[in-house]
Amino acid sequence: MKNRLFSLVTFLLILVYQAAACTNLLVTQGASVDGSVMITYTCDAEFHPHLGYTAATDYEPDDSLEITRWGGKVLGKVKQVSHTYAVVELMNEHQLSISETTFSGRDTLRNPDGLLHYWDLMQLALQRAVTARDAISIMTDLVADYGYRSTGESFSIADTKEAWIMEMIGPGPGGQGAQWVALKIPDGYISCHANKARIGEFPLDDPKNCLYSDNVISFAIEKGYYNPDSGEPFCFCEAYCPATPKNKRYADARVWSIFRRAAPSKKYSPDHHRAVEGTDPYPLWIKPDKKLSLTDVFSLMRDHYEGTDYDMTKGVDAGPYGCPNRWRPMTWTVDSIEYVWERPISTQQTAFSFVSQSRDWLPDPIGGVFWYGVDDTYTTCYVPLYCGIDNIPKSFTIGSLSKFSWESAWWVFNFVANYANLKYCFMIQDIQAVQKDIEGNLLALQPTVESIALKLAKSNPDILTRYLTDYSINHAEATVARWRELGEHLITKYNDGYIKDEDGRPQGKGYPKSWQREVLRARPDQFRLPKKEESVPESKLVD
């Protein structure tokens, strides 16, 4: 018997050639208000995601699974295990969750002869592992046996007690395995990464907190990436993903923005991500000024550098209504000089994002919650999907990028986010009010829902599954319905450039004075009315 692996991120087959753009945050038990271990993920690229669910399954000893690519082409087979766990998108039934960001690194180390891409490793680990440490062992054993096909990758891996960051890169065409290192985030600390390798120097004699491949240093020496006679310590990130002004601006700026908001007392300087000479890189992990709640984590994943010198809602580039979105391409050239837009955590290119919540004091079906949202993190609404469910909301599983549909959750949220670009500074207030109301109600319901679930866990596990599934699906679909109503409300309230007041009367709000001045700097005489003595007779004026 054969089993074909349709990864939850089958759509990423397209993205390999499109974009490598994601942001992750890792929060340890001691850094969260309630003792949850949390990781986040923004999967950023232009595609329509489908929420995935894989049921637990038993297999025969000689079973294998096929690794396929776009169009169903079979690249090879992996030996199947006797039992695989149920997986809701990127969280399994044991509260294990995995996310990633691609750092590319040295392109010459990509191995087209390897079998497994990073998304294969994530899905296989979720189907086979119980703990984060198990997942690391499974993923690294798989690349040793079958080869690693992707470019450089940073993984966030969390279970009910620990959060780990693992970074991996290939050996180049025809090579074996991969070079990798994994570090456990110290309890009470947070970490983050965003498309640039983050692990620098690491201990070689602390297996409780640090794991690595045997060749991680020797391979770098062989390739000339590291000189042991230099007197400098070996740093994974500098060997395999050297810092440049471009990747500092693109990636380190997002790390800085999370750290500056989680620990404002540290006053982290922007100089490093602006490539100022002599500045130190941001630490791999920090202790936040206060423990983070789930709401705090949602907020940290919503950011356009507001309140800083890089605030994307300010300036002529934000247009008259403070729109923080910048249309691709990110880099552009004027008069032979290259420029680049800021790259924020929140972007219109986000397909989906999540915040996973793993809690060791609760039974697995109840303790693991996969808070899921589609489209831009700033304008999405996170809905709870318990890891003990056996079905998922339909509206998150249908639709395509080629055809708009009110039945698709992604299109509903995408519509609201896109329509808001017309008068962003006004409409974002309407959006955030609904967002706050829905998420606030869901968070307020959580203790009651889980109290009932705990009673069911003791008396009737089958009813528990049905209860959690119904709760997750019903509230997810209700959120989509509410967002659809919000979209229709915005079309009605903001029509033809007017904003309707509470009585439904259209009001002309015009443009901010600051933006009008920018217009006049560019064309000082275009819109100027003549002085009174130069005026045209009123009878000659035509509207």
pLDDT tens track for 420-437: 999 999 999 999 999 999
Q: What is the mean pLDDT of the chain?
A: 94
Q: Which residues contact 480 (CB under 8 A, 6 or more apart)?
A: 393, 395, 396, 409, 412
- In the chain, count H helices and then E strands: 13, 25
pLDDT tens track for 510-536: 999 999 999 999 999 999 998 876 555
Which residue intervals of 347-423 are DSSP H helices? 364-367, 409-419
Is the pLDDT at 460 greater than 60? The verdict is yes
Residue 69, pLDDT score? 83
Residue 468, pLDDT score? 98
The token pair at 265 is: 């007392």
Average pLDDT over residues 119-130: 98
8 — pLDDT class (breaks 50, 70, 90): very low
Q: What is the pTM of this model?
A: 0.95
Is the pLDDT at 205 greater than 90? The verdict is yes
Q: What are the boundaries of each domain within the chain?
A: 1-242+293-432
Residue 16, pLDDT score? 42
pLDDT tens track for 16-36: 434 568 999 999 999 999 999
Residue 534, pLDDT score? 59
Rounded-to-integer distance, Cα 164 and Cα 425, Å? 38
Q: Collapsing DSSP states into helix, strand and coil, what is residue 452?
A: helix
Average pLDDT over residues 442-465: 97
Percent of the chain having pLDDT more than 70? 94
Average pLDDT over residues 399-424: 98
Concatenated DSSP letters for 102-117?
Answer: EEE--GGG--TT--B-
